[in-house]
Amino acid sequence: MADREPIYLDYNATTPVDPRVLEVMLPYFGERFGNAASRHHRAGREAAEAVERARRQVANLIGADPREIVWVSGATEADNLAIKGVAASPVATARGKHIVTVATEHRAVLDPCERLEGRGYPVTYLGVDGAGRLDLDELAGAITEQTFLVSVMHANNETGVIHPIGEIGAICRDKGALFHTDATQSAGKEPIDVEQRKIDLLSLSAHKLYGPKGVGALFIRRRRPRVRCEPLLDGGGHERGLRSGTLNVPGIVGLGAAVEICGEEMAVEQPRIRALRDRLEARLLAAVPEARVFGREAPRLANTSSLSFPGLDAEALIAAMPRIAISTASACTSAARQASYVLAALGASPEEVDGSIRISLGRLTRDADIDEATEQIVQASIALTT
Whether 1 is covered by a domain: the verdict is no
Do residue 207 and residue 88 come from a single domain? yes
Q: What is the pLDDT of residues 95-110, one digit of tens each?
A: 999 999 999 999 999 9
Q: What is the largest CA-CA distance in the chain?
A: 71
Q: What is the pLDDT of residue 385?
A: 82
Low-confidence residues in the chain, pLDDT < 70: 1-3, 329-337
Burial degree of 73 (CB within 10 A; 0-12, 13-18, 19+): middle
Whether 2 is covered by a domain: the verdict is no
Do residue 229 and residue 325 come from a single domain? no
Alpha helices in the chain (DSSP H): 19-25, 42-62, 75-80, 86-87, 107-117, 136-142, 165-175, 249-287, 314-319, 341-345, 350-354, 367-384
Q: What is the pLDDT of residue 337?
A: 57
Do residue 238 and residue 271 come from a single domain? no
Do residue 126 and residue 174 come from a single domain? yes
Determine the 3-state secondary structure of 382 from DSSP: helix
- Please count the structural domains in the chain: 2
Residue where a domain stops, chosen among 260, 288, 311 = 260
Q: Which of 113, 229, 262, 332 is catalytic?
A: 332
Contact by Cβ (8 Å): 92, 110: no
The whole-angstrom separation of Cα 129 and Cα 135 is 8
Residue type, 177: A
Q: What is the pLDDT of residues 148-163, one digit of tens each?
A: 999 999 999 999 999 9
Q: What is the pLDDT of residues 196-227, one digit of tens each?
A: 999 999 999 999 999 999 999 999 999 999 99
Do residue 43 and residue 111 come from a single domain? yes
Query: What CATH number corresponds to the domain at position 322?
Result: 3.90.1150.10
Residue where a domain stops, chosen among 260, 282, 317 = 260
Q: What is the DSSP letter of 362?
A: -
Contact partners, residue 258, CB within 8 Å, separation at least 6: 18, 21, 188, 206, 209, 210, 211
Do residue 98 and residue 163 come from a single domain? yes
Query: What CATH number corresponds to the domain at position 208?
Result: 3.40.640.10
Do residue 116 and residue 214 come from a single domain? yes
Q: What is the pLDDT of residue 27?
A: 97
Tell me the residue range of the domain where 278 lies: 7-15+266-384
* Residue 229 a catalytic site member: no
Query: What pTM does this model have?
Result: 0.95
Do residue 197 and residue 341 come from a single domain? no
Q: What is the pLDDT of residue 332?
A: 47
